Structure 1
Amino acid sequence: MTRVRKFEHSLLFLLWWPLTLLTSCGLDQETNVETGDREQILYFGNADEPQEIDPHVTSGIPDFQIQHALFEGLVAKHPKTLAIEPGVAESWSLSDDLKTYTFHLHHNARWSNGEPVTARDFVYSWQRALMPAMGNTYAYMLYYLKNAEAYFNGDITDFSQVGVKAMDDFTLVVELTSPTPFFLQLLDHHSYFPVHRATIEKFGAMDERGTRWTRPGNFVGNGPFVLKEWALNRVISVVKSPRYWDANQVRLQEVRFYPIQNRSTEERMFRAGQLHITEDIPNDKIADYRREHPAITNITPWLGTYFYRFNTTIKPLDDVRVRRALALSINREQIVKAAAKGGQIPAYTFTPSDTNGYTARARLDYDLDAAKRLLAEAGFPDGKGFPELELMFNTNEEHRQVATVVQEMWKQALNIKISLSNLDWKVYLDKESRLDYQISRAGWIGDFLDPIN
């Protein structure tokens, strides 16, 4: 069971090795890719600087890529079939009423400092993930545990009433509120990852955010890799952990994550042999890669939706007629053809069609007549009197292109003016969490294969 599989879940990623033969000939200096192939170092384009690597405070893909190298949950998923495989737990059983799981942990599971990973570590970590002061946006993922939601809301204060118990060092019993067919899928999500108690409390309180426990030299994790370097906005390097329970199956010696916001820059680095994998390329080059280098171009659908978020606490976005008018005036087919260009599917429902057999009935179609009528009913006929709004997005060329297309659509269809605001990833997340925005770019990626999430 190899852990390099955890880096194979990209929407659009390019595998480097065949292209190396096309671009590295005649270069006197060895490229990163050539060095990496020889020394088993993976050079990975990570799109942006992570918000954090603490699994109980993050919500973004740049963070998740790194967390999957540094931590491991009770189970893992096969990258192609999504079949559940052992992680820290070597086996498990389910009660006849389908509400109680008993997990048996690997006796040789170790933290990167050599200490054993125990069932009590999971109890501690899940309690931490549910503490309101953590501000964990994924706390709801643990609500399937008996009394977890009540604990998070403060209705109960005794965590022993929550459905997770360490029977001994290597036996964890989890009681659910009701039968949950997809529960095992949740356990590979970062909100369920364990953290090292002594390290957490060495640098702050149990529920304190932003302490230095996640920095090189301080960090202790239980994954196949351990943190070596974090040079802000330059590189995050993780190296193979010799204490990982399945270390013999990990061939990579190191992974270097590069936070490259500009897609054109990342694509140039890929062509120059500085990256093994890029998860994105500029939209205007997708057709060229598909035509000229099909063997190294992999475009696969994600269980995800790209959307805009309205701040309903401010006017005029507190009016459902305004929000609906804005939604109905977006031509999604045109966005896919003019801006996205990567085979994306227009989204008329929030949940992607045929998600584990489910397709939503409610739709938001393209309907200009209805959009104009609703805007007029809200007091803005032909856009008259409508205040200028700001559309916020994190730095990314695709986000800018889509925003520019939508900006023009709203101007032409509704005669309203929208300004664009391009922000660094961390600033963007902070403003969004504080509701300090009007319209914000957002994305939802399924955390498990079920429409309920």
Structure 2
Amino acid sequence: MSKKKYGFTLVSVLLALALVAVGCTPKEESGSSEAPVFRMNLATEPPSLDPAQVQDQVSATVVNGLYEGLTRKDEKGEVVPGIAKEWKISDDGKTYTFTIRDDAKWSNGDAVTANDFEYAWKRALDPNLKPAVSAYAYQLYYIKNAEAYNTAADGVKVDDVGVKAIDEHTLQVELNSPTPYFLGLMSFTVFYPVHQSVKENEAWATDVSTMITNGPFKMSEWKKNNSITIVKDDNYYAKDDVKLTKVVFSEVNDSNTELSMYQTGELDYAGMPTGLIPNEQFPTLKQNNPDEFKIQGSASIYYYLFNTTQKPYSNEKVRQALSMAISRQDIVDNVTKGEQKPAYGVVPPGIKGEKDDFRTEHPDTYFKEDIEQAKQLLADGLKEEGLTAMPTVKLTYNTNELHQAVAEAIAEMWSKNLGIKTEVSKQEWGVFLDNRNHLNYDVARGGWGADYDDPMTFIDLFSSKSGNNNTGFANPEYDALIKEAYSTDDQAKRMAAMSKAEELVIGTRAIMPIYYYSTVYMIKPGFKGIFIDYKGDIDYNRGYYEAE
């Protein structure tokens, strides 16, 4: 999923002094046995709370508390029953039959049924979905006839899609091919059910009063561009496992302010995945608050996208030159400072391979940084385009201090190493996403985190069928490799095909990988059961507070 990661800037002397000791959280406002409330920062307004439209981490952080799919993931990343209490898989691995819980209910008290899942999935595939076609519709292409319906091909109709409610408690799903990670996909946002009251209301997901949800929490208050509050839903089947009475999301896009709010007790959590902590304070925070300050690796990648439909970025040599002329190690050592790892591939560490970690089995040795070779590639590429000099590069990023610092560092490296002028500009998150989706950019920041624990979650991102492919990159050989990996459950064959695909997309530099993320955050003492999963997302659904 698209990562809206947040980062870091220099802080004022006063704030630096204030950080020496992080204040306690006032119990009357935060986690306690009397009032277990959890407060964190989103930093920006979620673009959408409609499961079919969610394509970013900010939106997903809220939606993951409001909805639940057929399965969910535990703290170890293992698939456990969600709205489906059990399932059966056919011998050929292509038919799944899910049994819906008898006690699964919507926040308004209606029963959650198999029909709601069928409706939601077919809605996400609807080629005429309003207000916009689902960017994640391609994740449903594993289902028989899903792609043909979504692309309006061959006269396939919605009733031909291989998902069917046999009765209110039985959902049958037919796949094109065995898909080893299909159960894991069932915990992902686009596979969440949707209450059928949304049929006549395109704007249902923008109004608290019309949002009927089925997860541990339900909407309580939404102050646009200010805060969102969700509260425990007593209709949730596992309500006894939900200990927090509410979760409050602020929307403050400034790292200094967020950390100040944490230290004064206005927040219980600060930092990634949706907030930010000033990186200049990492040493102080680590020394003075070792039990609260955390850094852990996450299966996600920070990169730049090239608009491959626009000259001169349509030229492979130009893209290769820009990618080879920067120092990733300098960026992680001197700019981000959060134990990130330089990236030379697409798939980050922490994703399962055939027998081990995919990145261990297939090292990302696809290219090396080389300034002299970059100069020659740039000259050759510009000559092929009939240009004598590189036009000013327009590099855009969404408003955030880390993104600005990384962009400025890269612009400086391009200037020093290639003599290129770069215009760096920021855009509000929603505007930025829209421009990127419509290829209205030259070079733009990108980030991607795993949607499920398989390399395919990164590899099929750049297929010509992906609604999240914002590069214009389309390659028949690449698509064929993805199709090959889709069509078998032989792990060795799957991994080999995906490795070849990764080598191809990196070789052409449709994207410019920068680093593999780490997640940097702080959490108040006493909060338990709230964790950052393998992909860097926060899970607060079974969180609780226990005085220490």
Q: Does TM, scored on the shorter chain, surpass 0.5?
A: yes
5 Å matches for 1:37-436? 37=32, 38-79=34-75, 81-134=76-129, 135-155=133-153, 156-198=155-197, 200-204=198-202, 211-279=203-271, 280-353=276-349, 355-357=351-353, 358-359=358-359, 360=362, 363-379=366-382, 385-436=389-440
The 3-state SS of whatever aligns with 1:291 is: helix
Counterpart amino acid of 2:186?
A: L
User: Over residues 287-335 of structure 1, what are the superposed CA-to-partner deviations in whole Å (9 max), with x where a residue is unaligned?
Assistant: 2222221211221111111000111121111111111100111210000
How much has 1:367 moved relative to structure 2? 1.0
User: Over residues 137-192 of structure 1, what are the superposed CA-to-partner deviations in whole Å (9 max), with x where a residue is unaligned?
Assistant: 11111111111111111124322221111111001111111111100111111010
How much has 1:22 moved relative to structure 2? 5.0
User: Over residues 356-413 of structure 1, what are the superposed CA-to-partner deviations in whole Å (9 max), with x where a residue is unaligned?
Assistant: 13234552321111110101102369x9521112111111111111111101000001
Structure 1 residues without counterparts, runs of 5 or longer: 1-9, 13-18, 205-210
Question: What corresponds to 2:481 in structure 1?
Answer: none
The 3-state SS of whatever aligns with 2:397 is: strand
Counterpart amino acid of 1:131?
A: D
User: Over residues 246-275 of structure 1, what are the superposed CA-to-partner deviations in whole Å (9 max), with x where a residue is unaligned?
Assistant: 111111111111122212211111111110
Question: What corresponds to 2:463 in structure 1?
Answer: none
Indicate the percent of aligned positions where both proteins have the same amino acid.
37
RMSD: 2.2
Higher mean C-alpha displacement, 186-195 vs 278-287: 278-287
Counterpart amino acid of 1:197?
A: Q
Runs of 4+ in 1 over 6 A off after TM superposition: none
Counterpart amino acid of 2:230?
A: V
5 Å matches for 1:11-26? 22-24=21-23
Q: Distance in 1 between matches of 2:167 and 2:19?
A: 51
Check the 8 A contact 1:310/1:317 in 2, yes or no.
yes
How much has 1:23 moved relative to structure 2? 4.1
How much has 1:31 moved relative to structure 2? 3.8
How much has 1:354 moved relative to structure 2? 6.2
How much has 1:447 moved relative to structure 2? 0.7
Counterpart amino acid of 2:90?
A: S
User: Over residues 202-261 of structure 1, what are the superposed CA-to-partner deviations in whole Å (9 max), with x where a residue is unaligned?
Assistant: 314xxxxxx144411111011111111111111001111111111111111111111222
The 3-state SS of whatever aligns with 1:149 is: helix
Alignment TM-score, normalising by the size of structure 1: 0.89
Q: Distance in 2 between matches of 1:88 and 1:142?
A: 19
Check the 8 A contact 2:114/2:171 in 1, yes or no.
yes
Check the 8 A contact 1:235/1:256 in 2, yes or no.
yes
Check the 8 A contact 2:103/2:111 in 1, yes or no.
yes
Higher mean C-alpha displacement, 367-376 vs 257-266: 257-266
Alignment TM-score, normalising by the size of structure 2: 0.74
The 3-state SS of whatever aligns with 2:210 is: coil
Residues 267, 23 of structure 1: alpha-carbon distance in 2 compared, 3 angstrom cutoff: closer
Counterpart amino acid of 1:162?
A: V
Higher relative contact order (CA 8 A, sep 6+): 2
